[in-house]
Amino acid sequence: MYPVAQNTWVFILLTCVIGGGAAFMAGRGLALKWRPVWQLVFYMLLLGAGIRFLHFALFQEPLVHPYGDAAWRYALDTAVLMAAAFLGFRLTRVRQMVTQYHWLYRKAGPLAWREKA
């Protein structure tokens, strides 16, 4: 097993940077196609399994174990991916709403819009 410091760098690089970038783009893509946000959950569960497999295949980390450390690592990986995907989805949806319906809505921050008075 690798030292904790190396596991931290592997997590940051593989899960946060590579997986988070893919999740952000997936969220953006779903928003551009006007898909509902609940579809993100399904896709991020699959992407989380893929990232967990890369941890297993490249760095000999545990793949699955229903009660062990691997289940918590999968949950953490998937939570990070979902956060990145929801961020990409929401940023894109706000831009869509204020651009396509400019007579109805205006920006109320980077993650929200509101009706024009």
CB 89 within 8 A of CB 27: yes
Query: Using CA atoms, how far apart are residues 44 and 23, in angstroms rounded to an integer?
Result: 7
* Tokens (6 digits) for 42: 């399904």
pLDDT in tens, 65-94: 767 777 888 999 999 999 999 999 999 999
Q: What is the mean pLDDT of residues 49-77?
A: 86
pLDDT surpassing 60 at residue 5: no
Domain residue limits at 71? 4-115
Residues 6+ apart with CB under 8 A from 77: 15, 19, 48, 51, 52, 55
pLDDT of residue 79: 96
For 21-34, how does the pLDDT look when each residue is reduced to its tens digit (9 = 90+)?
999 999 999 999 99
State the pTM of this model.
Answer: 0.89
Total tally of structural domains belonging to the chain:
1
Q: Distance of CA 111 to CAs 15, 39, 62, Å?
A: 23, 19, 36
Which residues, 6 or more positions from 94, have their beta carbon under 8 angstroms from its beta carbon? 107, 110, 111, 112, 113
Query: What is the mean predicted confidence (pLDDT) over 1-24?
Result: 83
SS3 content of the chain, % helix, strand, coil (to 5): 70, 5, 25
